Amino acid sequence: MTVIEERAAGLGRGVVAATTRDVRAHRRRRRLAFLRPTYWAPFAVMLVVVAAGWHLGAERMPYLLPPLSDVFGVLRDEPGYFVENSWVTLREALIGLGIGFAVAFLLAILISEVPVARRAIMPIAVVLNVTPLVAIAPALVVAFGFGAAPKLILTSLICFFPILINTAVGLRSVPKQVLQVFQTMDASRWEVLRHIRIPGSLPYVFAALQIVFPLSVIGAVVAELSAAGSSAGLGTTIQVATSMNRLSMVWAAIFVLALMGSLLLLFATVVERKVLHWHESKQSDS
Amino acid sequence: MTLAAPSKLGSGLVDASIDVTGARRTYELPDLSHLVALHDVDLSIESGTFVSVIGPSGCGKSTLLRIIGGLEQPDAGSVTVCGVSPKEAAAAKALGFVPQTPALLPWLTVLKNVTLPTKVNKRRNRTPLPDMEDLLRKAGLGDAMHKLPLQLSGGMQQRAAIVRAFGLRPDVMLMDEPFSALDEFTREALQEQLLDLWEETRSTVVFVTHSVSEAVRLSDRVVVMAPRPGRIVDVIDVDLPRPRPAALLESPEFHHYEGAVRDRLREAFEHGSRAGAAKGDQ
């Protein structure tokens, strides 16, 4: 290394140190951003408006909307009941999602590696996707009874299509020149899949997961609603409470479901941010 | 660290020469007419020479490179690389390829990107494995080693792509306009680094470019191609001493070679467009 180069390298290090410092300060500011009123005020105002509207509505039409205080009262009086039933629904949703994900992911690999398989699988997948799965639910209950089976099947069916399509597109999204580089090294199909295609598909897979996590809860609840004799789950809670005209109970279950969906979405987003830190869409610091 | 070429090639093949005989490649266009990308091209490149292929767009220079690299099959004619077919040369890991874009994997750090080639087709890895960290430091990427490609400039990304290809210790290096997207200054710096790396490995290089000065500075021989149909019109030997520092670019000898290449290009282009007009597009 010449003197000039060494000096240049030294200068370079100084620049790097300075930018790291800037980046840290920037990150700290970002982390505290939620404290600023501009960040939380719009949502807080909206929350108050909705609550006030609800309150007015509930006062005029008590047979349509229960007062908010009643809804939270139900939640406060029987927290164990809600935790238990939420857990049943959540478990159905997550296991169904897991099954749907595994099957869709493997089929996506098959589709992307074997063109003939694409022609066999895609038409069925599309038909499955356009059929309203809510309509299949009662038939599934007739076929598989009141146990967990129809719920898991419906949930995995709902999750199946977005994962299949996104993963298949993701596996094919590798730039041609990257493939050419590895072709001149005689990389095997498996090596290309493992080192290039699967990691490259992750942004697409996570986009699908963001859609599918909340969908899985919908699948589980719809299946529970259709299986009138189910022993547990928030869908069952809603149905039983409706038949007994316990409106505050119905709304309490709906609130819990909304919370569950939001938390699942949050989970998917946080994991995505961790895993895809390299992706352009997550490069917020530069 | 020494990278001196061993008597026997790292890949176990005999001789890093390239032979193209009567290569023809025709593409069918959407309107069912045919574009002759390569028209009976003959080219033989001796082991250890640096050869540039230059010509206007559509002269088939990239097609020629892809055929040598086994990325495309000729419709007629034959290609041997290191005495075997391009596919077999690729299987022996005798080839290094640098495309026009850096083609790095965005989720891997620079270091992991350049070591990934040792993780595919492992049986044919060179032993001992090259010290990629050292190679990166030599290429001025020491500080960038643990960064992601997106955090680097275009020039640094392309440098990483070149290190990735050289890290394989390939007997034959194929480069498809690797510097065409870079600014003039970065370009010249990278040419110098490429020559440094090449001095150590002395692999056979086929370098596709559309820059006359780049071709003259880098090469032992410049292959001039013309379009419609894609063919070789001349091969010009560049008899300039090595190493070739930036100062050489201003010498009269350098200008002499530049002029010669430019003349041949112009002739070929004028002739080509006249022939194209007369014959129609085959």
Q: What is the DSSP string of A233-285?
A: SHHHHHHHHHHTT-HHHHHHHHHHHHHHHHHHHHHHHHHHHHHTTTSGGG---
For tokens 């789950």, what's the residue?
Answer: A233
Residue B219 sits at φ, ψ, to 5 deg, of -100, 160
Q: What is the pLDDT of residue B262?
A: 93
Q: Which amino acid is at B29?
A: L
In the structure encoding, which two tokens stand for residue B179, read together? 């510097």
Residues A259, A253: Cα–Cα separation, whole Å: 10
Categorize the per-residue pLDDT at A22 as very low, low, confident or very high, splitting at 50, 70 and 90.
Answer: low
- pLDDT tens digit string along B35-89? 888 888 999 999 999 999 999 888 888 999 999 999 999 999 999 999 899 999 9
Residue A59 sits at φ, ψ, to 5 deg, of -70, -40
Nearest residue of B to residue A16 by CA position? B143
Q: What is the pLDDT of residue A5?
A: 43
Question: Where is pLDDT greater, at B211 or A13?
Answer: B211
Range B22-40 average pLDDT: 86
Categorize the per-residue pLDDT at B277 as very low, low, confident or very high, splitting at 50, 70 and 90.
Answer: very low
Q: What is the pLDDT of residue B14?
A: 66
Residue among B163, B210, B268, B204 nearest B10 (CA): B204
Residues A190, A196: Cα–Cα separation, whole Å: 10
- pLDDT tens digit string along B136-153? 988 888 899 999 999 999
Residues A141, A77: Cα–Cα separation, whole Å: 32
Highest mean pLDDT pick, A48-52, A148-152, B197-201: A48-52
Q: What is the pLDDT of residue B59?
A: 86
CB hemisphere CA count around A209 (13 angstroms): 22
Would you state the torsion angle of the CA atoms of residues A244, A246, A251, A252, taken in this order, to the nearest 10 degrees? -100
- pLDDT tens digit string along B213-242? 999 999 999 999 988 888 898 999 998 888
Q: What is the pLDDT of residue B11?
A: 64
Residues B172, B10: Cα–Cα separation, whole Å: 11
Q: Give the sheet arrangement for strand B34-45, strand by strand.
A: B34-45, B18-28, B76-81
Q: What is the pLDDT of residue A16?
A: 46
Domain B18-94+171-279 sits in CATH at 3.40.50.300
Given a cut of 60, is residue A276 above it in pLDDT?
yes
Chain A residues touching residue B98 (CB < 8 angstroms): 181
CB distance B130 to B169 below 8 Å: yes
Chain A residues touching residue B165 (CB < 8 angstroms): 181
Q: What is the pLDDT of residue A166?
A: 94
Given a cut of 50, is residue A83 above it in pLDDT?
yes
Indicate the domain borders of chain A: 68-282
Q: What is the pLDDT of residue B261?
A: 93
Given a cut of 90, is residue A179 above it in pLDDT?
yes
Chain B residues touching residue A184 (CB < 8 angstroms): 69-71, 90, 95-97, 174
* CATH architecture of the domain with residue range A68-282: Orthogonal Bundle (1.10)
CB nearest A187 (choices: B69, B70, B121): B121
Which range has the worst mean pLDDT, B63-77, B194-208, B245-259, B263-277?
Answer: B263-277
Categorize the per-residue pLDDT at A14 as very low, low, confident or very high, splitting at 50, 70 and 90.
Answer: very low
Chain A residues touching residue B174 (CB < 8 angstroms): 184
CB distance A235 to A222 below 8 Å: yes
Which residues are B175's β-sheet partners? B98, B207
Q: Which residues of B touch A (CB under 8 A)?
A: 66, 69-71, 87, 90-91, 93, 95-101, 103, 105-107, 116-117, 119-121, 124, 142-143, 148, 150-151, 164-165, 168, 174
Which residues are B76's β-sheet partners? B24
Indicate the domain borders of chain B: 18-94+171-279, 102-169
- pLDDT tens digit string along A53-80? 999 998 898 888 898 888 999 999 989 9
Chain B residues touching residue A275 (CB < 8 angstroms): none
- pLDDT tens digit string along A206-225? 999 999 999 999 999 998 88
Given a cut of 60, is residue A50 above it in pLDDT?
yes
CB contact under 8 A, A183 and B101: no
Q: What is the pLDDT of residue B5?
A: 44
Residues B110, B132: Cα–Cα separation, whole Å: 10
Nearest residue of A to residue B144 by CA position? A16
Q: What is the pLDDT of residue B124?
A: 83
Q: What is the pLDDT of residue B272?
A: 58
CB contact under 8 A, A177 and B93: no
The helix/strand/coil state of B281 is coil
Q: Which amino acid is at B120?
A: V
CA of A191, closest CA in chain B: separation in Å?
Answer: 6
Burial-class residue A151 by CB neighbours within 10 Å (0-12, 13-18, 19+).
buried
Given a cut of 60, is residue A205 above it in pLDDT?
yes
Residues in contact with A145: Cβ distance below 8 Å, sequence separation at least 6, in sequence order: none
Provide the percentage of residues in chain A whose pLDDT is more than 90: 56
Categorize the per-residue pLDDT at A140 as very low, low, confident or very high, splitting at 50, 70 and 90.
Answer: confident
For tokens 């095997």, what's the residue?
Answer: A188
Helix spans in chain B (H): 61-68, 86-91, 110-115, 132-138, 154-166, 184-201, 212-218, 252-279
- pLDDT tens digit string along B163-218? 999 888 889 999 999 998 888 888 888 898 899 888 888 899 999 998 999 999 99
ipTM over 0.95: no
Given a cut of 70, is residue A229 above it in pLDDT?
no
CB distance B43 to B7 below 8 Å: no
Q: What is the pLDDT of residue A228?
A: 65
Given a cut of 90, is residue A203 above it in pLDDT?
yes
Q: How far is CA A128 from CA A135, A143, A205, B160, B279, in A?
A: 12, 18, 20, 46, 56
Helix spans in A114-246 (H): 115-130, 133-144, 149-171, 176-183, 189-192, 198-226, 234-243
Categorize the per-residue pLDDT at B1 as very low, low, confident or very high, splitting at 50, 70 and 90.
Answer: very low
CB distance A264 to A89 below 8 Å: no
